[in-house]
């Protein structure tokens, strides 16, 4: 074989590997239609921040609920309740984020003016706004836990321990 022919061999093997070693959807058992959840997704739900983080926008929220729905087998009613809970939390988060941006700008201006009183006020405001962000996320996640069944809570607790 020439050198050019050998260059194409890894590409052919990589592209046809799923046919040689994997199952396609047609040959999979009928009862095994559970969605795949990556290790990265599972690790995300095991972090301490999972108790107060909320998705930042609608796209991330949809992705978050797709993974959470697959992980916990959420019913459509539960997904609707969770969406409404997090819609309110996301809108609150957006207003808090805008206030936080303004507070950071105020802090920057106070540092440039060497105004220690304004620095203290801005730092206190930033701390309070950050506390409200965490409280908002924790409240939304607590409301979500109230929607889950005991089995779903136990399944989620497995990943958070």
Spell out the domain ranges in the chain. 56-161
Which has the minimum average pLDDT: 41-45, 61-65, 73-77? 41-45
Residue 47 has pLDDT above 90, yes or no: no
User: Binning pLDDT at 50, 70 and 90, where does residue 158 land?
Assistant: confident
What is the residue whose two structure tokens read 């321990």?
Answer: 161
Single pTM value for the model: 0.65
Residue 16 has pLDDT above 80, yes or no: no
Domain 56-161 -> CATH class? mainly alpha
Average pLDDT, the chain: 76
How far the first Cα of the chain sits from its last, in Å, is: 55
Distance from C-alpha of 63 to C-alpha of 69, rounded to nearest angstrom = 10
Longest dimension (CA), the chain: 78
Over the stretch 80-98, which tens digit does the pLDDT of each residue have? 998 899 889 989 999 999 9
Exposure pattern of 26-60 as b/e (b: 16+ CB <10 Å)? eeeeeeeeeeeeeeebeebbeeeeeebbbbeeeee
What's the average model confidence in pLDDT over 21-47? 48
Residues constituting the chain:
161
What percentage of the chain has pLDDT greater than the value 70? 66
Which of the 8 DSSP states describes residue 25?
G
């Amino acid at each position: 074989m020439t050198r050019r022919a050998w260059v194409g061999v890894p590409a052919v093997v990589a592209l046809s590997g799923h046919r040689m070693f994997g199952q396609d959807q047609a040959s999979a058992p009928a009862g095994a239609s559970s969605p795949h959840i990556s290790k990265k997704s599972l690790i995300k739900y095991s972090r301490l921040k999972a108790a107060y983080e909320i998705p930042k926008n609608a796209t991330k929220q949809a992705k978050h609920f797709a993974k959470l729905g697959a992980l916990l087998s959420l019913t459509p009613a539960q997904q609707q309740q969770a969406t409404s809970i997090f819609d309110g939390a996301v809108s609150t988060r957006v207003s808090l984020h805008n206030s936080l941006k303004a507070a950071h700008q105020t802090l920057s201006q106070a540092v440039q003016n060497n105004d220690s009183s304004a620095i203290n006020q801005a730092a206190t405001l930033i701390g309070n706004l950050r506390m409200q962000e965490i409280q908002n996320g924790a409240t939304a996640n607590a409301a979500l836990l109230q929607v889950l069944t005991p089995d779903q809570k136990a399944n989620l607790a497995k990943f958070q321990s």
